[in-house]
Structure 1
Amino acid sequence: MAAAPATAQAATVFPKSHVGFDSITQQIEKKLLKRGFQFNVICVGQTGLGKSTLINTIFASHLMDSKGRMSPEEPIRSTTEIQSVSHVIEENGVRLRLNIVDTPGYGDLINNDRCWDPIVKYIKDQHSAYLRKELTAQREGYLQDTRIHCCLFFIQPSGHGLKPIDIVVLKKLSEYVNVVPVIAKSDSLTLEERAEFKARIKEEFAFHNLRMYPYDNVEHDHDEVALNAVIKEQVPFAVVGSEKNIVVGGQQVRGRQNRWGVINVEDETHCEFVALRNFLTRTHLQDLIETTSFIHYESFRAKQLLALREGGGYSGGSRPISPSADRELSRSSQRMTMNGY
């Protein structure tokens, strides 16, 4: 009698008594909570678009000093070099180490030739630093992650569309970082103007093949695909930031007062600030971190190792990585191909 063919799928076995391995999620959660989480954000945009104010509004804390004027008599202030500030924020027992990088406003000078180079170099330098630590002969048990997980790209609310320099900068940035575009100070536009402006920007994204976050991923389930579809409809987020509390109807709200009334930044009929905040902190924070690691960093890593093996030397830093780096090349090249780079 012929033997019965072996089944291709393993059968699910249910233990007759409680074993205990179902607590693995609690074990992982305990370790992660003990270590805490790291989230690195870089703000890119022209001077005067309220980058510092929006960051402070999103995280409900005064994390960055505004460079804007508090009164007409004050001199104009601006960020003149890349600055990084770190804060530890704790919410319901979860610690988040937030690293915010403020950049000089690009396009502010008469000669703006390659004004984006310092920003792109900073992002690549963080990849390089992580790669050197990763390929060291004696690695640390936990590598401090300074790679940029999210780039908030601030668009001027002109109503006319993207400037040529915006398109160039977006192309450069999207190669190395998750870019999330926002229309700053959107209360300067009417609702009709805002809708037309967003539609025009989306058309330019498609025409110039600008790859904005979130990305399509075959591993996403139905719920994730549906959520990302909603996000893509909202991008670029039309936002307003404010650290001031204003009393409206007997309640304090964060908003901006003008002669016609109050702009409540947390009122979804006024702007899309709440949608941006939920997107960054509640639904996509971990995905931003993982996408940085699995797509942008892997692409950078594979290119650097390929250059090293071909004898071109390591172009990401001033010293070579490690002789053992060559052994990692084949796997990194495969990952880069799978991710579409």
Structure 2
Amino acid sequence: MPQAGPGVSPAEGVTYVGIDTLQEQTRLKALRRGYTFNLLVVGRSGLGKSTLVNTLFKASVSRRKSGLEEPLPSTTEVKTESSSLNEGGVRLNLTITDTPGFGDHINNENCWEPIVSYIEAQYARYLEEEQKVNRLLHIPDSRIHCCVYFIPPTGHSLSSLDVEVLQRLDKIANVVPVIAKSDTLTLEERVAFKERIRADLSDHGIRVYPLLEYEDSDDAQENSKIRERLPFAVVGSTAWHEVHGKKLLGRRSNWGLVEVENKSHNDFAYMRDMLIRTHMQDLIGSTAERHYENFRRSRLFSKASTKAPIVNGQDSNHMKNLNESKI
């Protein structure tokens, strides 16, 4: 008699095939290969981008020259740092892309162009490898899976620069807006600021992640709660403090300690849960299925249209197809 499979009683063993092991097979294969996640942070200097990223992953994944003042780049630059993190047997190949010089000059005209060019260059690199006759079995993925956009805690509304940049980024990447150093705002100011930003996003047609039109019914409730909290009002810190015998990450001020992971103090835990614990795989998938796919179609259509000569006002490829259909 066939042996009963895992979780199957002897009486049911005769019907056991083993299809239920597919999930475990997939899991083991993914663990051996590891996962890749590419995060882009965009914002002016002094907003704590590196600190927040290091707080997210509890590691020095976004490095700065401690104690040294780096000269301000003449234009926006793009810098990447790659790390390999391991937790519970799961390996994550993480790349953090920063944008020093963004929005830091008197004249910030077109300061977003290096960022947009970088994102599209990663799509182009992937497409080039994908189209090769002898291509790699596993194409290295440098495509940006998420763009965290840092908004200064002014308490007013989005600046014209913020609007300009977000209108370009939301078409090519998953954008998650955050209010940086939100502990500089009172709770009332924070609520009002969030409402103004959400109104600005809606008025200018800026779409941020997670997008309503692409969600499954199973994710609708969870995504709705996330959208209600956007933009995330966050605080980052890599400093540990002891409170009642417990070690806590936080920022100490004259009036007390702002606990980074305390949900009543700021939205860091909500953002961390979304980016890492609940939606990381969806961010990776939506990049491939939507943003990269849109880029791929556009690039291939552009190539096809430039190659096909025009005959009597008609695309020659189109004319050829018509003639073949008549034969």
Instruction: Decide: shared fold, TM above 0.5.
Output: yes
Name the TM-score class by shorter chain.
0.7 to 0.9
Map 1:1-341 → 2, pairs under 5 A: 17-66=15-64, 75=69, 81-217=77-213, 220-222=216-218, 224-311=219-306
Superposition RMSD in Å: 1.9
Give the TM-score normalised by structure 2: 0.86
Cα deviation code 1:212-254 (max 9, x no counterpart): 00012466033x1000000000110000000011122222211
Q: Does the C-alpha gap of structure 1 residues 279 and 78 become closer, same or farther in structure 2, counting only changes over 3 Å?
A: farther
- Tell me by how many angstroms 1:21 deviates: 1.9
Cα deviation code 1:297-325 (max 9, x no counterpart): 00000000000000169xxxxxxxxxxxx
Asked if structure 1 preserves the Cα contact closer than 8 Å seen for 2:179 and 2:231, the reply is yes
Asked if structure 2 preserves the Cα contact closer than 8 Å seen for 1:176 and 1:296, the reply is yes
Asked if structure 2 preserves the Cα contact closer than 8 Å seen for 1:88 and 1:95, the reply is yes
Q: Determine the C-alpha separation between the residues in 2 that align with 1:178 and 1:312.
A: 32
Identify unmatched segments of 5+ residues in structure 1: 1-13, 314-325, 327-341
Give the TM-score normalised by structure 1: 0.83
Asked if structure 2 preserves the Cα contact closer than 8 Å seen for 1:161 and 1:201, the reply is yes
Moved more, 103-112 or 46-55: 103-112
State the percentage of identical aligned residues.
44
- Tell me by how many angstroms 1:126 deviates: 0.2
- Tell me by how many angstroms 1:109 deviates: 1.3
- Tell me by how many angstroms 1:105 deviates: 3.5
Q: Does the C-alpha gap of structure 1 residues 312 and 171 become closer, same or farther in structure 2, counting only changes over 3 Å?
A: farther
Q: Determine the C-alpha separation between the residues in 2 that align with 1:180 and 1:34.
A: 30
Greater than 4 Å deviation, 4+ residue runs = 74-80
Where 1:182 maps in the other structure, the secondary structure is strand
Aligned residue type for 2:275: L
Asked if structure 2 preserves the Cα contact closer than 8 Å seen for 1:268 and 1:274, the reply is yes
Where 2:83 maps in the other structure, the secondary structure is strand
- Tell me by how many angstroms 1:78 deviates: 5.3
Cα deviation code 1:193-222 (max 9, x no counterpart): 000000000000110010100012466033
2:325 is matched with: none
Aligned residue type for 2:153: P
- Tell me by how many angstroms 1:45 deviates: 0.5
Q: Does the C-alpha gap of structure 1 residues 33 and 82 become closer, same or farther in structure 2, counting only changes over 3 Å?
A: same
Length, aligned pairs only: 296
Asked if structure 1 preserves the Cα contact closer than 8 Å seen for 2:183 and 2:235, the reply is yes
Asked if structure 2 preserves the Cα contact closer than 8 Å seen for 1:245 and 1:255, the reply is yes
Asked if structure 1 preserves the Cα contact closer than 8 Å seen for 2:52 and 2:236, the reply is yes
Q: Determine the C-alpha separation between the residues in 2 that align with 1:119 and 1:158.
A: 24
Cα deviation code 1:7-46 (max 9, x no counterpart): xxxxxxx995211122111111111110000000000011
1:336 is matched with: none
Identify unmatched segments of 5+ residues in structure 2: 1-11, 309-316, 318-327
Cα deviation code 1:64-119 (max 9, x no counterpart): 2246x86xxx6466576211111111111110000100112422112211010000
Q: Determine the C-alpha separation between the residues in 2 that align with 1:181 and 1:311.
A: 38
